[in-house]
Structure 1
Amino acid sequence: MKRNADDWKTVCFYLLLNLSEDPKVEQKMRSKGVIKLLVEALTPESGNDLVILVLTFLQRLSVYIENKNDMALLGVIGKLSFLLSEDGVQGHLFQCDDPSVVNLSLRLLFNLSFDPDLRIAMVKEGLMPKIVTAMGDERHRHQAVCVLYHLSMDDKCKSMFTYTQAIPLLMKFLLDSDEDDPGMEVMALIINLAANRKNAALICGTVGSSREGLGLKLLLHRAFKTDDPLIMKIIRNIAQHDGPTKHLFIEFVGDLVEKMKDSPNEELTLECLGVLGNLNLPELDWSLVTDEYELFPWLKQKLLAGDSEDDVRLEIIVLLGTMAGDDVCASHILKSGIVANVLQILNAKQEDDELVLQIVYLFHRFVAGKTDMREGFMTNYSDAIHYMIDLMHDANAEICKLCDATLDIVGVSKIFLPLLSRNCDSEWAARIKEEKFQHHNAQWLEMVSQLKDRNKAVSRRNSLMNSSGRESRDALYDDASSLDDSGGNSYDPQANLLDRAALFAGSDSEDTGKASSDSEEFMDANLIDNSRKNAGRPKSRYNNRIAARAEQ
């Protein structure tokens, strides 16, 4: 009975699969719920032919977002978890051995893994170790590596690779490939995994054992032999992690500098610069390295070369910032004159935030260093201080923060360095104080300026209204004098105007008195209203601006 049911389903799904070649027919099938029928057919009890057919059909449908979303709601990830075996490299169903099932399952998982939520679901369902197991079989290696690459894009998933056999297998693929390319997917996956600290330690070799650092040595040997920038990118990602793995690079610094200077491959040079820039180790004597390999002339030539890319210039500045952590080497940097070239780049590349940020960090290293180094930098490169003062108002928050911290040191330098500069120190202190005040109180200063402009406008309007009110009162007084019974030409202020009935006899006089009264009432009400509006501190729009930036 079960076999007959599977045969019947197989025939029906084959017919639907052939009909789905027409996109319009496929859309009608989706509206009739074909995806639900296919997902429900993926059970451990289903026959091998039926499962292969269903997986083929689902793989075709999964290229559309709407179909992918339907599959996610129906729990297709959990269904696929039953189809992959945890033991052995042959993937198979629980009842039979068939590599086609594993291959089709991995292809379907690859289509679904473009969705970040489904990648998380794959990890929760325990699919990662099963996919790693399938990667050991050459028949499924490409599909498994592609799925694992998508999983490695998420930082939370990177750490899960530590508990699988993925890294030993990938290192085997890379190092045993001889002259053959192990594949772009394998290289990309290792690069992603090396960005995690625990994975980087596994790649280098077990710390504290006889194999400590063996993996790093093999990677460097292969990178120097093949001039492959992708392998050097793996090494660069390893070098960014603090801890025991970074100390393994000390014995290879000379080899990295030689390869960086001699390689005609610009991409390899860039990656070597990145590796050296990550080696901020206190026990590394950068002054000895620069003297032995004559590094400064080469760095200056690369900075000024017209054909050098901005990425190369950026990595050179990062490397200089790392070297400046060594006080002796920092003094050599100042004496070499390379800081003048850095200032030229800052002037020419002011729109490049990353480049500007690294240059400001280099200046911060000089200012925060020893007294003689700080004095030499601030005396010989005063333009750098002026640049940082201007950059306090930069739109990039990190640049503003670093400039602020650097100028704090410059502002108090007069206390610690009384002999720093007789001419410039007081000017810098005053300008820095003014700029820092304007920077930290920019919102309030703007509102005060707006308030002053508003008050000036109100004063001008009130002045005009007062002038109009006086003219109305003068006209009223003239009319009252002309109505005096004695025929005099003067107006008696002690007289009671209300006793003069003639004053209200005519419509013209009545209108005049009403106009004067209305004018005075309007003037008084306007003044009260303005005084209420201008009373107290105006409401800040700072929070609204922050919200607007967040929305952008």
Structure 2
Amino acid sequence: MLYEDIAEQTKSTAMLLQLSKNSSNIRQLLENEVLIGALARILYDDWKKSFDLATNITSIFLNFSFYNDFHPILAHYKIGTACLQITEYELKRWDIWKKEISIDYSSEQRKWIIAIRKQQILISVCLNLLLNMTEDIKVEVKLVSRKIVALLLKCLSDRNACLELLLVSVNFLLKLSLFGENVKEMKNHRIVELLATLFPIKNDSLRHVVIRLLFNLSFDSDLRNQMVASGIVSQVAPFLEDNETCVNLLYQLSINNDAKAMITFTDTIQVLMRYLLSNQATDVMKAILINIALEKRNAQLICGQEGQGLDLLIELVYEQKDLLILKILRNIASHSGPSQSMFNKWVPRLLHSATKSQENGEIDYFSNWFNLECLRIVSQLDSVNWLSLINEFSLIEWIKQKLNPDTVNEYEDDSALQVLCLVIILCGTMARQLEAARLLVPLADYFTELLSAQQEDDEMVMQIVYVFYTIIIHEELSESLMGGSAQVGAYLLDLMHDSNAPISAICDRALTIIAERSEEWSRKMDIERFRWHNAQWLEMITANGDILGDSAQSDSSDIFSDVLGAEDLLDDTFLNADFNNQLEYDF
């Protein structure tokens, strides 16, 4: 029957296909070399003549391909090559037929639709066979070199394609996405845009494999951003409870700031909070809450209108001693406004945890980190009455102990330095309130000694300078800070031109405030700025012995009296006149 007309060949191959579905018949069929040779020949010669015939034969070989032991036989008859050629040809013909359908409104349109349906089934069988054969990595490499990625993505260009074709295409891409080179190729062919058009996906199997593929792709930052821009967040959020991969994907997307805002308008927070409060939340679920709590509206939703959500979280923290939940609270506390004021009744308990020492002097790693997170939370709260807390917990003495030079010299590990930095951040928060800032002024010597010792640590320097800045904002305290023995002004002048932009900016802001209140400091700032902008010229003059300078804080003769025209150089009128004169000669 295999040597007769197409109809008989189709009928006989259909019978053989039924036999090949029974695993007990596979080996006997493959051992018949004449039969396999005939099927391979017909596939090569006549596949264009009948979709049914081509589908039957490729389906027979597909059943063989489920067994790795038989892959060499398929390779011997070049079945993989034949399937790839069929796929390439039919995809080109598919494009032509789709155009025909779009302009043909006659009774022939139904025939076109049926033909495309059969075509898609044939392509899906061929791709399934090729997918099975990629168990051999060498075959996969060959297929990639033959542009299989582009072919698979072309199969996804029509969301109305048959389910079998969409499933095998996405599964194939999922396997290929394990290699960075393939992900780059997929990115070039706009894979996220194509996958986004498939949503909403009604079929559970297809939706599951699409989400798995998106998760693999989400480790590329560009593709992750494209997913957010394509609205994937709102598509996957409803399936959090049904699919673990969906949770993992949403975590990846929650890294993006726009995704955090989009999650606000889904049920994600309600679902995650329900899991969290019922002790069913995974670490990934908690991590999603950590990320999205950085968005102010999400933080407010987590807290609830009356703060009941926040209360439940804090109670859960002390019940379970969960560091991840503490990180959620830390991110909520970073927002000013109503959500931060909800912490007020919990601050004493958090502060007690942050400041307590280990019993018997023993080091408990977990407790140290727990206390550290509590300190991170309270160091962000500026809505509480810090004066009463300072008195209740003897915070000034505790801060002195942490800032004591002898204690600082003993800090060797990163966690101890983190504590020190957080203590300084706490001081900066406290100093925003006048009465609390007044109690911090006597600690200026501690801060300047620490500044000198940790001058290579930009974060530490930044936080210390910020403490000075917050104290200087209070007019009645600025003079006592700047005029004390700590020489705060000298440090600020020195750091005004620091290579770290945020440090130099905050020093400049602090000194500007002081200069507005003091003519002496205004003049010192002018001198320092003059020295900075003319450093090269001053160095040259000094080398020639024409000018003897000292630091801006020196009591020696004023640099302006030694530099001819220095007053004019700092005068805006002089600068504008010089600029205008230059314009007159420019042409």
Equivalence for 2:146: 32
Q: CA deviation at 1:238?
A: 1.1
Aligned to 2:76: none
Query: Could you report, residue by residue, the CA deviation over 1:457-495 in whole angstroms, capped at 9, with x for unpaired residues?
Result: xxxxxxxxxxxxxxxxxxxxxxxxxxxxxxxxxxxxxxx
Matched residue SS, 1:407: helix
Partners of 1:194 and 1:200 within 8 A in 2: yes
Is the CA contact 1:276–1:319 (under 8 Å) kept in the aligned structure 2?
A: yes
- Mapped partners of 2:228, 2:473: distance in 1: 46
The change in CA–CA distance for 1:37 and 1:374 in structure 2 (over 3 A counts) is closer
Query: Structure 1 residues 80, 328: closer, same or farther in 2, change over 3 A?
Result: same
1:104 aligns with 2:209: yes
How far 1:412 sits from its partner (Å)?
5.6
Amino acid at match of 1:365: T
The aligned counterpart of 1:407 is: 511
Q: Which residue identity does 1:215 align to in structure 2?
A: G
Residues 396 and 439, structure 2, Cα contact 8 Å, conserved in 1: no
2:551 counterpart residue number: none
Query: What residue in structure 1 maps to residue 294 of structure 2?
Result: 195
Out of 395, 400, 403, the position equivalent to 1:295 is: 395
Q: CA deviation at 1:327?
A: 1.4
Q: Specify which of 302, 309, 315 is matched with residue 422 of structure 2.
A: 315
* Helix, strand or coil at the partner of 2:219: coil
2:135 aligned with 1:41: no
The CA distance in 2 between the partners of 1:380 and 1:386, in whole Å, is 11
In the TM superposition, what is the alpha-carbon distance from 1:289 to its structure 2 partner?
A: 0.6
Aligned partner of 2:349 among 240, 255, 277: 255
Instruction: Give the AA of the match of 1:222.
Output: L
1: CA distance, partners of 2:515 / 2:155: 74
- How far is the alpha carbon of 1:409 from its aligned partner? 4.1
For residue 82 of structure 1, report the CA deviation from its aligned partner. Answer: 5.4
Distance 1:119 1:409, change over 3 A: closer
CA–CA distance in 2 between the matches of 1:185 and 1:149? 7
1:381-438 CA distance string (max 9 Å, x none): 33222222221231112222222232334446556xxxxxxxxxx6x77654422322
Is the 8 Å Cα contact of residues 272 and 289 (structure 2) preserved in structure 1? yes
Instruction: Provide the C-alpha distance between the structure 1 equivalents of 2:513 and 2:118, rounded to a whole number of angstroms.
Output: 84
1:345 paired residue number = 450
* d(CA) in 1 for partners of 2:504, 2:496: 5
Partner of 1:245: 339
Q: Deviations over 1:273-315 (max 9, x none)?
A: 222222223xx32111110122222233334443452222111
Summarize the Cα distance change of 1:78–1:447 in structure 2 as closer, same or farther, 3 Å threshold: same
Q: What residue is the counterpart of 2:252 in the other structure?
A: 150
1:310-369 CA-to-partner distances (Å, cap 9, x unmatched) read 22211111110111112111122234xx43332222111101112111111111222332
Mapped to 1, the partners of 2:119 and 2:526 lie a distance apart of: 85
Q: Aligned match of 1:437 in 530, 534, 555?
A: 530
Shift of 1:194: 0.7
Which protein shows a greater Rg?
Answer: 1
The 8 Å contact of residues 247 and 285 in structure 2, kept in 1 or not, is answered as: yes
Match of 1:222 in 2: 316
Instruction: Give me the CA root mean square deviation.
Output: 3.0
How far apart are the structure 2 equivalents of 1:267 and 1:217? Answer: 21
Q: 2:285 aligns with which of 177, 186, 198?
A: 186
Matching of residues 76-87 of structure 1 within 5 Å: 76-81=191-196, 83-85=198-200
Measure the CA separation in 1 of the matches of 2:322 and 2:425. 22
Q: Tell me the equivalent position of 2:219.
A: 114
Question: Given the alignment of the two structures, is residue 326 of structure 1 paired with residue 416 of structure 2, yes or no?
Answer: no
Q: Which residue of 2 aligns with 1:17?
A: 131
Amino acid at match of 2:441: L
Corresponding position of 1:520: none
Q: Describe the SS at the equivalent of 1:393.
A: coil
Distance 1:252 1:145 in 2: 31
Whether the 8 Å contact between 1:280 and 1:322 is mirrored in structure 2 is yes
CA distance in 1 between counterparts of 2:239 and 2:511 reads 57
Q: Secondary structure at the match of 1:382?
A: coil
Compared CA separation, residues 5 and 401, structure 1 to 2 (3 A): closer
Aligned to 2:274: 172
- Report the TM-score when normalising by structure 1: 0.68
Q: After TM superposition, list the pairs within 5 Å mapping 1:370-449 onto structure 2.
A: 370-371=475-476, 373-411=477-515, 414=518, 431-439=524-532, 441-442=533-534, 445-446=535-536
Instruction: Identify unmatched segments of 5+ residues in structure 2.
Output: 1-51, 53-113, 358-363, 547-577, 580-587
**Shift in alpha-carbon separation, 1:452–1:317, aligned structure 2, 3 A:** closer
Matching residue's letter, 2:283: M
Q: For 2:485 and 2:467, how far apart are their aligned partners in 1?
A: 13
Partner of 1:312, secondary structure, is helix
Over the matched positions of the two proteins, sequence identity in percent amounts to 34
Question: What is the CA–CA distance in structure 2 between the aligned matches of 1:217 and 1:187, rounded to whole Å?
Answer: 17
Cα displacement string for residues 130-164 of structure 1 (whole angstroms, at most 9, x for unaligned residues): 21112121xx1x21122112211121222111111
Amino acid in the other structure paired with 1:195: L
Contact 1:411 1:433 in 2 (8 A): no
Give unmatched runs, 5+ long, in structure 1. Answer: 86-90, 94-98, 207-211, 416-425, 457-535, 538-552
* Structure 2 Cα separation of the partners of residues 122 and 254 of structure 1: 43
When the two structures are superposed, what TM-score results if normalisation uses the length of structure 2? 0.65
Alignment of 1:57-72 (within 5 A): 57-72=172-187
Whether the 8 Å contact between 1:327 and 1:370 is mirrored in structure 2 is no
Where does residue 274 of structure 1 map in the other structure?
A: 376
Contact 1:92-1:102 within 8 A present in 2 as well: yes
